[in-house]
Amino acid sequence: MDATVLAVTSKGTVRGFRRGSTAVFLGIPFAQAPVGPLRFGAPAPVVPWDGERDATAYGPTAQRGDAGITLIPEPSVPGDATLNVNVFTPADRDPDATLPVLVWIHGGGYTSGSPASRWYDGDAFARDGVVTVVISYRIGFDGFGLIDGAPSNRGLRDQIAALRWVQDEIGAFGGDPARVTVAGQSAGGGSVLALMASPAASGLFHGAMAISPAIGAVPADAARRFAARVAELAGVSADRDGFAAVPEERLVELQKTAGKPPRGRVIASLTALLDDGLPLGPVIDGDLLPRHPLDVLAEETGVPLVIGSTDDEFTMLTARYRGLLRFVPVSLALAVLGLGRSRRRAYLARTRRRGAAAVLGGYATDRVIRATVLRVARTRGVAPTWVYRFAWPSPVFGTACHCLDVPFWFDHLDAEGVTAIAGDAPPRSLAAQLHGAAVAFARDGDPGWPAWDATARRARVFDGAASVPFVETDAYADVAPLV
């Protein structure tokens, strides 16, 4: 840790540290700790403090306990004050600087994940003149369970509160509140789309990046059924008072149990997951999220959007069963998963994947994420939208898998754990391309390739191979039968 650095916010002074050319401030609260009477409540404003508040260590995380082995190392940090932000800004910036701002939302399926990951440190963005803010939010049932007597979508409300904090305070860190780009990956990317669809978030950001978006749009009736199941397992009433009697750690275990498929209904549950999405996530509540994000995005035209995915997000999950799945007729398996005959034939005719394991894992990829990319691009019409594909195959997994692109976006290939997914020598030139596109978009509102249009349907292809075209037309055509 290098020299101390200070920033004066409206709530008080925070003390961070200098790391190379970056001023780092960790664990700054943007709302009060959501515990006691504030549990299951909307985020409450921070109480001002006197003196200097230490901001040299990651703050507590909503994720609890050991997350186990994950693609992105996202440690849990104990403590109550989980609603906090990490800020990375150029240490030697002009005192009057008004730099573009990138706000990052972590993924984790709306039930896990942590902002306390070195993969999300914004040193490279600071180097290139962009202030980075990594935010936390409540996850799982505490964040997204639909509870009688409690505000809905508490995790989404946390994200909005963090964006409001950026509007109010980022000037103290050299950022421009009029040039804020919100970005996220997986559930974080789905959160970006939900924020674009929420009237409460209007005006809080000016550009958006939805990276491998796992869209969150849980119907209210489905959310109520899930809450009733959790309450039944806990032996409490399905309201705020009932759930308040259940310790957070216990509630985490119960939400896992409630999400398991009933015995004998594994296929039906898998089909429902592909059709309806995750049981926990942003809820279409008629209030904070009035309608499905795709319906709102068809009308929203003002916020520029970058959206895309890796080519094989989840193919690695079925690759381990390659030997067993080679005996499974692919067409029959897709039929069992609910894909009708004409769409099945069209899909199989267009897919580049071969072998049952690759096709079935690819189908999960396409249904959950890649089809969302195409839907959003089509839905946006003439609204400024840039589409990309991340096609570089991991030398570890053999495909462009989920999370592989994140250290490239952050130009943080030396972070702990990157070699486990990207091998010993991930191409730095590819990181320069992705990171450069993110910087350009945050700074100029244009990532540097042609925008999507209904005729050419162009997308940027990020791949280390010189033989791969920079931009392709008719992008994502292989998932068109699923849209």
**402, 412, 435, 472: the active-site residue:** 402
User: Could you confirm whether 106 is annotated as catalytic?
Assistant: no
User: Could you confirm whether 313 is annotated as catalytic?
Assistant: yes
Sole residue written with tokens 């549990």? 39
**186, 191, 212, 309: the active-site residue:** 186
Q: Which residues contact 354 (CB under 8 A, 6 or more apart)?
A: none
**74, 169, 313, 472: the active-site residue:** 313
**Cβ-count burial of 287 within 10 angstroms (0-12 exposed, 13-18 middle, 19+ buried)?**
middle
Q: How far apart are CA 397 and CA 375, in angstroms?
A: 28
User: Could you confirm whether 186 is annotated as catalytic?
Assistant: yes
| Catalytically active residues, by annotation | 186, 313, 402
